[in-house]
Amino acid sequence: MIPNRSAHADNHPESLGNSMNNVENRPDKPEEACGVFGIYAPEQDVAKLAYFGLYALQHRGQESAGIATFEGERVHLYKDMGLVSQVFNESILQDLVGDLAVGHTRYSTTGSSRKVNAQPAVVETRLGSLALAHNGNLVNTGKLREELVNNNCNLVSTTDSEMIAFAIAEEVNAGKDWLEGAIRAFHRCQGAFSLVIGTPNGIMGVRDPNGIRPLVIGTIEGNPVRYVLASETCGLDIIGAEYLREVQPGEVVWINEEGLASFQWTPKPQRKLCIFEMIYFARPDSVMHNESLYSYRMRLGRRLAQESLVDADLVIGVPDSGIPAAIGYSQISGIPYAEGLIKNRYVGRTFIQPTQNMRESGIRMKLNPLKDVLYGKRVVIIDDSIVRGTTSRKLVKALRDAGALEVHMRISSPPVTHPCFYGIDTDSQDHLIAARMSVEEIAKQLEVDTLAYLTWDGMVEATREDPGSFCSACFTGKYPVPVPEPLKGSKLILEKTSV
């Protein structure tokens, strides 16, 4: 039996969210992936450590959060809609006792934003319960769901994550142990999946053969050493865990009382980390390729200045993700950097629509321009990406209303021309402004004086890694994992453009 204390009604029904799905009101960014966390530490308060790990990963998803702990064979589960700090309190965490914990914070990419789709997904097997937290998207969900339904699996959610959990349960119930059953199930999955899986015997950390979504391993000092899994290193830092290494593409790590064991579950892994993790999704203090992403994003700004210099008085960044690139741009261009926009960091997702006057006045719920800084100035504004262009246009208008004489927009990534099928919601292709318009047309649409994007070469060269080790399909249309035509056709509405 699985005690689940999230018993009250679904407080964010789909009807409330429908109005948020129209193009005008959605954020002008690729929407976040999810955050996963796992810890095996019998002598520690694993629920509280999982809470803080998820707290650090909150930027990856703000719709729901959940933690499952294992106390021997008994599973304690709590999950609900809302931010991590809204879902949990001291009383709830005290009831989540056990030796290991699995946590998740969600942005919905498969399955609607409802409590039934919150994670971890918990299913029963002949060896006991398993709890699964998933970051990514499968591309063969239709086929996998059909297989599971034909095998009489009682799917209760609409997420591919639950399907992975049931696929593991099927293999285990057929007589395999946890590790063998999980590996057999992974071979049934195609797409992007970084997983943390809790069982009565230990936890697993898994990445798909391309390692499209990130997953790292940390250690907690002691005798014996204990292990932590997290989507990013910032999830380790907050609890004082030391970064050990990343889980490799096509690797499964098995963590229990004996320590950490590693298994390569696929014969030909080929690294294809989502490059948008480096540009935008992951926190700037998280480490990838042995450096903080803040350093990488500053290099993007330096390269952007080399490629598209403009004569201006100030460089400003769109908080928070555009700031490191803006600083880099300032360093190379010699144009002073200043804060021209102040972000309200306490604004989360809201289901209350602003008044018509508020919509017309721009985006000031989240960003407010500093008039005395901007007045009479020629401004270069740096952002990491433009997806639909709706927010960017409002932002330009706000800068002009604040007295900016000229507005020159620079983007520290190439034009986003293709949707993502691997766990990021970039919308269908007809909503991607760069798939429909040239750079000159976008500049006119946004009402900027000039617009320039970073080149693809500049973006990948700034990584200082093999350009072939990244997935950049949203810029190129070259998908590392084949996407079934029905799924592809639902988002790829336009022909590939030459923007």
Alpha carbon separation from 160 to 119, 124, 199, 352 (Å, rounded) = 11, 17, 19, 29
Given a contact cutoff of 8 angstroms between Cβ atoms, the answer to whether 28 and 390 are in contact is yes
pLDDT at 352: 62
Catalytically annotated residue among 34, 153, 189, 234: 34
Looking at residue 193, its amino acid is F
> What is the residue extent of each domain of the chain?
35-271, 295-344+357-467
CATH assignment of 295-344+357-467, given 3.40.190.290, 3.40.50.2020, 2.40.70.10, 3.40.190.10? 3.40.50.2020
Does 321 appear as a known binding residue?
Answer: yes
What is d(CA 247, CA 229) in angstroms, rounded to the nearest whole number?
Answer: 9
Given a contact cutoff of 8 angstroms between Cβ atoms, the answer to whether 202 and 256 are in contact is yes
Residues of the chain with pLDDT under 70: 1-32, 108-114, 347-354, 356-363, 426-427, 491-499
What is d(CA 205, CA 211) in angstroms, rounded to the nearest whole number?
Answer: 12
What is d(CA 325, CA 384) in angstroms, rounded to the nearest whole number?
Answer: 8
Half-sphere exposure of 446 (CA within 13 A, CB side): 32
What's 35-271's CATH class? Answer: alpha beta
Close Cβ partners of 371 (under 8 Å, ≥ 6 residues apart)? 402, 403
Does 430 appear as a known binding residue?
Answer: no
The single residue listed with the structure tokens 């948020």 is 20
What is d(CA 170, CA 174) in angstroms, rounded to the nearest whole number?
Answer: 6
- Nearest 5°: the CA angle 250, 220, 181 is 35
Close Cβ partners of 118 (under 8 Å, ≥ 6 residues apart)? 6, 63, 64, 65, 66, 79, 80, 81, 104, 106
Half-sphere exposure of 214 (CA within 13 A, CB side): 28
pLDDT at 157: 84
Does 384 appear as a known binding residue?
Answer: yes
Does 153 appear as a known binding residue?
Answer: no
Structure tokens of 260? 């950490």
SS3 content of the chain, % helix, strand, coil (to 5): 30, 25, 45
DSSP string, 52-101: HHHHHTGGG--SEEEEEEEETTEEEEEEEES-HHHH--HHHHHH--SSEE
pLDDT at 499: 29
Query: For the sheet containing 121-125, what is the strand order?
Result: 121-125, 128-135, 194-199, 202-207, 251-256, 259-264
Instruction: Decide the pairing of beta strands 259-264 and 251-256.
Output: antiparallel
Cβ density class 75-91: b for 16+ within 10 Å, e for less: bbbbbbbbbbeebbeee
What are 308-334's pLDDT values in tens digits? 999 999 999 999 889 999 999 999 999
Output the pTM of the full model.
0.90
Given a contact cutoff of 8 angstroms between Cβ atoms, the answer to whether 83 and 37 are in contact is no
| 143 three-class SS | helix
What is d(CA 219, CA 226) in angstroms, rounded to the nearest whole number?
Answer: 6
What is d(CA 297, CA 291) in angstroms, rounded to the nearest whole number?
Answer: 11
What is d(CA 59, CA 35) in angstroms, rounded to the nearest whole number?
Answer: 8
Three-class SS string for 461-475?
HCCCCCHHHEECHHH
Close Cβ partners of 278 (under 8 Å, ≥ 6 residues apart)? 288, 293, 296, 297, 463
Q: Examine the residue annotation and report whether 34 is marked as an active-site residue of this protein.
A: yes
The single residue listed with the structure tokens 């190129």 is 476
pLDDT at 24: 46
What is d(CA 182, CA 232) in angstroms, rounded to the nearest whole number?
Answer: 23
Does 383 appear as a known binding residue?
Answer: yes
pLDDT at 485: 85
